Amino acid sequence: MKNINKNSFLFEDITTLKGVGKRLEKYLKNKKIEKVKDILFDLPYEIIDRSKITSLQNLEVGKISSIQVVVEKYNFPRIRNLPNKVICSENDRKINLIFFNSKEGYIKKVLPIKKEVIVSGKINYYKKNYQITNPTYIKELNSKKEITKVFPKYSLTEGLNEKIYRNIIYRVLQDFDASDEWYSDNFLKENNFGKLQKVLLNLHNPSTKKDLNSNDYRRLVYDEIFSNLIYLSTSRKIVRSKKKIKYLNKNKISKIVLDNFGHNLTKGQSEILTEINKDISSEQRMFRLLQGDVGSGKTILALIAAANIIEINYQVAFMAPTEILAQQHYKLAIKLFKNSNINIELFTGKTDYNKKKHILSDLQNGKINLLFGTHALFQNKIKFLNLGFVIIDEQHKFGVNQRIKLAKKGGKNCDLLLISATPIPRTMMLSFFGDMDISRLNEKPKYRKKIITLIKPEKKLDEILPLLKKEISLERQIFWVCPLIDISSNLNYTSAKKKFEQVNKLFPNQVGLIHGGIDKNIKNKVLQDFLTKKIKILVSTTVIEVGIDFPSANTIIIEDSNKFGLSQLHQLRGRVGRGNTESICILLYKNNLSKNARERLKILRSTNDGFVIAEKDLQLRGFGDILGFQQSGIKNFRFADPLHHKDLFLLAEKEVKKLEKFNFKKFENLLKLHDKADIISEIVS
């Protein structure tokens, strides 16, 4: 080992390890191995069992086996590029050992004629003979124990082989000093956790394949969850420690907003509005996530809260993920704040230069009360006179750091409200939004019409056409969603471009097409044409799944619906049912549905409750495939899985709450191991 400080060993660069030069460093860093600790956390994904000597008569092609044979004969061809061959035997049976790029001298040294040896490698069959190509191990009989055991198998990149990598891991495990254990002996005993050093030794020397529920693996899972919750708890304490001026709710402007809205709030909406108003009037800054199913009425609550902030002479920023959604919110606000003398503006990439100049000036002078826009609102050049409230719509991918930075935009008196229409299971909420207060809106307003869900085979598409013609004749609109942009030679899925051509022949000049591959301006133009009813049918990939409100669209057709996850299908279905007529969602599928796919579609047909659907989706497909998590980068765990380790999430939550009154200093090494220490330092600063 090179000169390494024992206390910082795990956090040193991998180049401090003996034998890791520039070339090996490059290969390891390609594998995301930067620090010594990364080696320890790179667990084997399966095992190779070489523990038993297999007789030649019992060999299985494709299986890694250890054999005990006698070297009989060499075959060293004189033609370039042909491999060397060594014929070996066990009694009257033969096997060939094939060597590419190995010199004669080396082969004669490790495989002397008439010598009995142990050989291990993958069994192949070629020209009626068993063979092992480039054997992994060749040992004399007195070294039998070095081969005949269970070996861990790691995921490797180019330039790394099992032997080299395992040797590096072995050296790290030998040098790893885990005397500084951060949990008490009682805590470890109560939860069947071993000490970290022993746990890692066991996991890197497994006797069976990886088990998500083994005590050793659960110890690593708990460490990861616990460090994450400490991080969120620290963030929460920092936000909570900031005092702000107490606001008084006068509710005059919010009454105008409600009157213009024209509907009574549901019981759930009223309760959440009370929670939000309590935050607004407290000395602690609001840091709240409002989570509600599609169509549950989250936006109206955000705008009522905005009205209460504006009434006490603070400004409000409302950020949406896309220009068209920002524009939609802006138009809704103009309607709801009518007769209130509130100055509302929209700032997007399409706002012309002179208009932008006026908006920037009026913002700094306090003449603008409510500003809508995209993430551009948080550019340095946009300065508010007195920002008191930030609302962020549909921003799942915002991490804790970003949330805190956004909250800082308005100074110490600025409250923050995040809105999400993606139903998130309880353990995920705890994992990703544990720094925030959470309001969950479960019920939908009575004025929202029911969505009927139908499941149809693709071959019966002709039966649907009369329905579509009728809907168009009644001035209603249709979404037609496909999984792919182009036709794929590998996947038998429907492409949006092909479907657009087909539908456009049936309904000439009434069909639009959008997908992730088209220019943003063209996409916005097509969406605008759909919103203004210039086109009747919008063929699309899943880019339409979040947020935008098209009241006249009351039918959605989803091609290859069995290829989507439940939560994603529910989000897509939520694009309809926003007007005053009953809506229809038609799930098309090709023949031969799997049992799992059939079950998913039946669940979707049986319920419109996004929270029920999210939980079912988690059970059926597992963490990481759920809509809005893996795709947006929110899946930030290496070991933990909310489905398998729910009890550990709850245990970690309980333990963090016990410790919140105290300093987390004793867990500093744990936080460093899981890359949380530097982030916490940044938050604290």
| Orientation of helix 610-621 relative to helix 595-606, angle to 10° | 170
612: nearest Cα among 438, 423, 451, 474: 423
Task: Kindly report the three-state secondary structure assignment for every residue of 594-635.
Answer: CHHHHHHHHHHHHCCCHHHHHHHHHHHHCCCCCCCCCCCCCC
127: nearest Cα among 172, 82, 94: 94
Buried b (16+ CB within 10 A) or exposed e, 376-407: bbbeeebebeebbbbbbbbbbebebeebbebb
Rg for the chain, CA atoms, rounded: 31
* Rounded-to-integer distance, Cα 380 and Cα 384, Å: 10
Residues 264-322: tens digit of each pLDDT: 999 999 999 999 999 888 888 888 889 887 778 899 999 999 999 999 899 999 988 77
CA 313, 316, 322: angle at the middle one, nearest 5? 165
Helices then strands, each counted (H, E), the chain: 24, 21
Cα 220 to chain centroid distance, Å, stands at 20
CA 221, 224, 230: angle at the middle one, nearest 5? 135
> Long-range CB contacts (< 8 A, 24+ apart) of 651-656?
651/191, 651/222, 652/222, 652/225, 652/226, 652/229, 653/229, 653/430, 653/434, 655/226, 656/226, 656/229, 656/230, 656/233
Domains and CATH numbers, the chain: 52-148 (2.40.50.140), 252-441 (3.40.50.300), 451-607 (3.40.50.300)
DSSP run (H or E) holding 86: strand 84-90
Write down the mean pLDDT value for the chain: 84
Which residue is associated with the tokens 């804790």? 400
Contact 119, 97 (CB under 8 A): yes
β partners of residue 529: none
Distances (CA, A) of 5 to 2, 266, 617, 669: 10, 62, 47, 14
Contact 373, 347 (CB under 8 A): yes
- DSSP calls for 384-444: -SSEEEEEEES-TT--HHHHHHHHHTTGGG-EEEEEE-S---HHHHHHHSTTSEEEEE-PP
pLDDT averaged per 10 residues, the chain (length 685): 56 87 88 90 85 91 93 92 94 94 92 95 93 92 81 83 86 78 92 92 81 88 91 77 68 90 91 92 86 85 94 91 85 93 90 90 94 83 89 66 63 84 68 76 78 89 88 91 69 76 91 86 86 91 70 90 82 81 89 80 85 74 42 59 83 85 78 80 63
Q: Is 57 helix (H, G, I), strand (E, B) or coil?
A: helix
650: nearest Cα among 236, 227, 216, 222: 222
Query: Dihedral angle at the C-alpha atoms of 545, 551, 555, 557, nearest 10 degrees?
Result: -20
Beta strand 64-75 with 116-126 is antiparallel
Cα 393 to chain centroid distance, Å, stands at 18
At residue 71, φ and ψ (nearest 5 deg) are -75, 125
107: nearest Cα among 98, 94, 118: 98
Predicted confidence at residue 376, as pLDDT, reads: 78
Distances (CA, A) of 454 to 411, 466, 582: 50, 15, 13
Q: Please tell me the number of Cα atoms within 13 Å of 362 on its side-chain side.
A: 16
DSSP run (H or E) holding 543: none
Q: Return the structure tokens found at 508.
A: 């000439």
Which residue is associated with the tokens 């709450």? 657
Predicted confidence at residue 545, as pLDDT, reads: 54
- DSSP calls for 111-132: S-TT-EEEEEEEEEEETTEEEE
β partners of residue 479: 538, 556
Give 609: exposed, middle or buried? Use CB within 10 Å, 0-12, 13-18, 19+: middle
* Rounded-to-integer distance, Cα 497 and Cα 622, Å: 31
* Rounded-to-integer distance, Cα 287 and Cα 279, Å: 9
Q: Is the pTM of this model over 0.85?
A: no
